Amino acid sequence: MKITVIGTGYVGLIAGLGFAKWGNEVVCLDVIPEKIEKLQKGICPIYEPGAEVQLSDGLSSGRLRFTCDVKSAVEHGELIFIAVGTPEAADGGADLCYVYSAADEIADYMQSYKLVVDKSTVPVGTARALRQRIAERLKAMGKNIPFDVASNPEFLREGRAVGDFDNPDRIVLGVASMEFLFSKADTNYAIFNCRENRERMVTLLHMLLAEADRSLDGCETVCQDLLEVLLIWVVRCTTLSLQLEEAPRTENRECAEVKRYLDANFREDVSLDLLAEIAHLNKYYLAHTFQREYGISPITYLNRRRIEESKHMLGNTGYSLAQISELMGFSSPSYFSQCFRKAEGLTPNEYRRQVRQGQRPAPSKRHEV
């Protein structure tokens, strides 16, 4: 998995080293050139048993890089961890200016889905504030890019940080479709001990993360089943009861990305293989998932998009069928006519004649499919 860590302080550096050790491609970002230069040379700025070895191994393997280039760092990460400092503010609370600055930079440079993870020491509610801030900034720039925000506070002990990162003593899960029922109506969180089943639960977590990372056919079902098993083990460690609720339906991000690509490039030579490469999915799985999301296949959606645009040209221009067919990306005029008849119930020439005779209004604008 491609991971970006913003901030190379104590928490950020230990996290970056640990992620690279686990086989991920990690880019660590910092605004201090001198620190980045030393890290690139394998000079660890903190003393922590095991950190210098992990730094050397990560650099030599090519899995770990350090940079001051914000744009390339944001573009690299599928997961982006914010691990910047949160100094004490004048009122005694945490100063979140660096956290918010990192969130702004992520919004400025993101071009595809990102999972933004807050790893800094921040007050409750910061993840919600970050989500709103990123969403508003994207909207202001005219970007319609899906993203998620999670909170992953770190608990590291000096002198044992490497071991603590590899073997955390607590696991925090948040799931939109599941709700724990507590004894007090005004309580929405709890701390409980699962030490007896810790090894089994960590194994399940590793399986869950590995399955999500591979993105093979049926991975969503497997991940959901593993998560339910994991939560059942949590319930067995406590007196909680577990209530499952249907989660609000959200658009599949890979399908949404393919749909955006088709809307922007419907005139180009597009194939299912190309769309699968863009979505990083098996082409048959993509076709099945797209059909489930929108009720039509990707190629049918593409042709409908082309047909809508061709109707505009038939009704408002003097282009020949051959010219329209070529402009709209159809392989031949005959295939254009075949697709048009299938979609509209008449040929392109019949459609143009009806528009000119006033039997149907000329399309004045392009329509969304």
pLDDT in the model for residue 214: 72
Instruction: Decide which of 141, 168, 195 is a domain's last residue.
Output: 168
What does the pLDDT average to over 280-291?
A: 84
The neighbouring-strand residues paired with 67 are 29
Half-sphere exposure of 240 (CA within 13 A, CB side): 25
Report d(CA 157, CA 153) in Å as an integer: 13
pLDDT of residue 89: 78
In terms of Cα–Cα distance, which of 83, 82, 85 is closest to 103?
82
- Environment class of residue 337 by beta-carbon count within 10 Å: exposed (0-12), middle (13-18) or buried (19+)? middle
Residue 112 included in any domain? yes
Q: How far apart are CA 83 and CA 151, in angstroms?
A: 11
Nearest to 97 by CA among 113, 112, 83, 86: 86
Residues 206 and 341 in one domain: no
Alpha-carbon distance of 136 to 236, in angstroms, equals 41
244 versus 307: the higher-pLDDT residue is 307
12 and 158 inside one domain: yes
Is 158 in the same domain as 195? no
pLDDT at position 108 over 80:
yes
Instruction: Judge if 140 and 52 occupy the same domain.
Output: yes
In this predicted model, which residue has the larger pLDDT, 250 or 53? 53
Side chain identity at residue 283, one-letter code: K
**Same structural domain, 69 and 164:** yes
In this prediction, residue 312 has a pLDDT band, given cuts at 50, 70 and 90, of: confident
Segment 117-139 shows an average pLDDT of 87
Burial (CB count within 10 angstroms: exposed 0-12, middle 13-18, buried 19+), residue 305: buried
**Residue 202 pLDDT level (bands cut at 50, 70, 90):** confident
Q: Convert the pLDDT of each residue in 343-359 to its tens digit.
A: 889 999 999 999 888 88
Q: Is residue 41 domain-resident?
A: yes
Same structural domain, 278 and 319: yes
Is residue 362 one of the residues assigned to a domain? Answer: no
Beta bridge partners of 243: 179
Over the stretch 145-193, which tens digit does the pLDDT of each residue have? 888 888 887 777 777 888 878 777 666 654 444 444 444 444 444 555 5
**Residue 318 tokens, joined:** 């003097």
Q: What is the mean pLDDT of the chain?
A: 82
Q: Of all residues in the chain, what percent carry a pLDDT higher than 90?
A: 34
Residue length, the chain? 369
User: CB neighbours (10 Å) of residue 346?
Assistant: 13
- pLDDT band of residue 248 (cuts 50, 70, 90) is low
Judge contact between 333 and 347, C-beta under 8 A. no
**What is the Cα gyration radius of the chain?**
26
- What are the tens digits of pLDDT across the range 44-103? 888 888 889 999 999 999 999 999 999 999 999 999 999 998 887 777 777 899 999 999
Whether 292 and 318 share a structural domain = yes
**CB 198, CB 233: distance < 8 Å:** no
Residue 238: the pLDDT is: 63
Q: Which domain holds residue 123?
A: 1-168
Q: Which residue has the tokens 């913003």?
A: 6
pLDDT of residue 180: 42
20 lies in a domain? yes
For the chain, the helix, strand and coil percentages under 3-state DSSP, each to the nearest 5: 50, 10, 40
* Residue 31 sits in the same domain as residue 145: yes
Q: Between these two residues, 308 and 193, which has the higher pLDDT value? A: 308
At 65 the three-state DSSP class reads strand
pLDDT at 76: 95
Nearest to 278 by CA among 260, 291, 266, 294: 260
pLDDT beyond 70 at 366: no
Domain count, the chain: 3
Mean predicted confidence (pLDDT) in 297-310:
91
